[in-house]
Amino acid sequence: MLCMLCNVVLPLLACFVAVKIFEHYWRKRLISSDSLADRYVFITGCDTGFGNRLVRRLDKTTKLRLFAGCLTDKGRADLDKCTSERVQVLPLNVTDHESIETCFKEVTARLPSNKGLWGLVNNAGIIGFSGPLDWVDAKYFEKVIRVNLLGVIDVTMTFLPLVYTGKGRIVNIASSYGRFPFPVAGYTESKFGVEAFSDSLRFHLRSIRSPCGVSILEPGFFRTNLNDPLKLITEINEIFQNMRPEMKEFYKTVDEDYINRLVKDNNDFMDIVSTPNIDLVVDAYEHALTAKWPKKRYSIHWDAKLLWIPMSYMPSFMQDFIITMLCNRKV
Ligand SMILES: *[C@@H]1O[C@H](CO)[C@@H](O)[C@H](O)[C@H]1NC(C)=O
């Protein structure tokens, strides 16, 4: 037994550690800043959050030229004000094909001739409903999936020719929810879809020997203004009021107390596992766009690396057990 430990397990462990250390330094090698100076990156969802922070970061730390898609007039005006002339802000609604097509024509017109995109960053996204899964209807799922999944697919398929010309990279934001299906209506489904779409696109690019690549970001739980507890209470109440009568009948014992407890549990859980440091996500985006050897997957924050990804490999009965421990919401 001891022999086996010395002869097999320890050497394997040593190899694994050596490979990881080598990888760590290998991944640190960046493309030279001058070489990035004439490359163009298109980013969606730059009004607020990760996308907004990413544009301002890249504008400051790199010489990349950026096209930033914003949904709202206010988002466009604000971003335009605080960025250099290397950033061009454009209107974009990822749920509207016309808008994507118009944006594509605009980007094509503004790119120097024979120049494509070095990066396409599918960042735009919305959050789902983290209250009880069966309180919402299919329309709710559809709303989230339209932005988070169909938006990514539509933007990618439209801009792909420019990425091919630029021998560029596609960077898609998924989530730990795309690896471990926490019941968050629409969000989980959309993120599993983004994982599937990104992987299958990468396989396709390999099969045609394309120099283009795909990276997937998998952030764990982040505390942003999207998951503010007050907003959650309002949303849960609203959804509860508008629930189908047949379902309301099943949940007839639910009262204000129950809802407050739901939000409190959710909040306590977020306090333990989440981080407000959205720069971690921006770091991953920046690496995917500026490293010589970007990763195919970026697990971001310890909860993703140590909890959700390992849990995703567990047998179903163990996953069920853990979920039962974590969420106890008997009606
Ligand atoms: C985005 O496009 C969808 C579909 O056309 C539309 O329903 C929605 O109102 C648009 N959003 C904004 C902010 O323009």
Residues 128-156: tens digit of each pLDDT: 998 999 999 999 999 999 999 999 999 99
DSSP state string for 268-289: HHHHHH-B--THHHHHHHHHHH
Nearest Cα to Cα of residue 303 among 191, 226, 224, 223: 223
DSSP 86: T
- Is any atom of ligand 1 closer than 6 Å to the C-beta of 265? no
Query: Going by CA atoms, what residue is nearest to atom 4 of ligand 1?
Result: 96
Rounded to an integer, what distance in angstroms lies between the CA atom of residue 79 and that of residue 274? 27
Residue numbers of the chain with a pLDDT score lower than 50:
none
Rounded to an integer, what distance in angstroms lies between the CA atom of residue 74 and that of residue 58? 21
Element (H, E) at 68: strand 65-70
- The confidence score (pLDDT) of residue 224 equals 76
- The confidence score (pLDDT) of residue 17 equals 94
- The confidence score (pLDDT) of residue 145 equals 98
Contacting residues for 302 by C-beta, under 8 A, at least 6 apart: 220
Rounded to an integer, what distance in angstroms lies between the CA atom of residue 159 and that of residue 111? 13
Q: Which of 40, 164, 177, 187 is catalytic?
A: 187
- Is any atom of ligand 1 closer than 6 Å to the C-beta of 95? yes
pTM of the full predicted structure? 0.94
How many degrees, rounded to 5, is the angle at CA 255 between CA 253 and CA 260?
Answer: 135
Rounded to an integer, what distance in angstroms lies between the CA atom of residue 166 and that of residue 123? 20
CA 94–ligand 1 middle distance (angstroms): 9
Q: Tell me, which fold does domain 32-227+276-319 have in CATH?
A: Rossmann fold (3.40.50)
Whether residue 177 lies in the annotated active site: no
- The type of residue at 300 is I
CA 71–ligand 1 middle distance (angstroms): 9
Element (H, E) at 83: none
Rounded to an integer, what distance in angstroms lies between the CA atom of residue 147 and that of residue 126? 7
- Is any atom of ligand 1 closer than 6 Å to the C-beta of 283? no
Element (H, E) at 292: none
Q: What pLDDT digit, counting tens, does each position of 96-120 carry?
A: 999 999 999 999 999 999 999 999 9
CA 184 to chain CA centroid, Å, is 15
- Is any atom of ligand 1 closer than 6 Å to the C-beta of 94? no
Domain boundaries of the chain, sorted by first residue: 32-227+276-319
Among 76, 95, 103, 143, the mutation site with the greatest number of ligand 1 atoms within 8 A of its Cβ is 95
Q: Are 307 and 223 in contact (CB under 8 A)?
A: no
- The confidence score (pLDDT) of residue 266 equals 87
Rounded to an integer, what distance in angstroms lies between the CA atom of residue 195 and that of residue 174? 6
- Residue 119, classified by CB atoms within 10 Å of its CB into exposed (0-12), middle (13-18) or buried (19+), is buried
- The confidence score (pLDDT) of residue 331 equals 67
- Is any atom of ligand 1 closer than 6 Å to the C-beta of 150? no
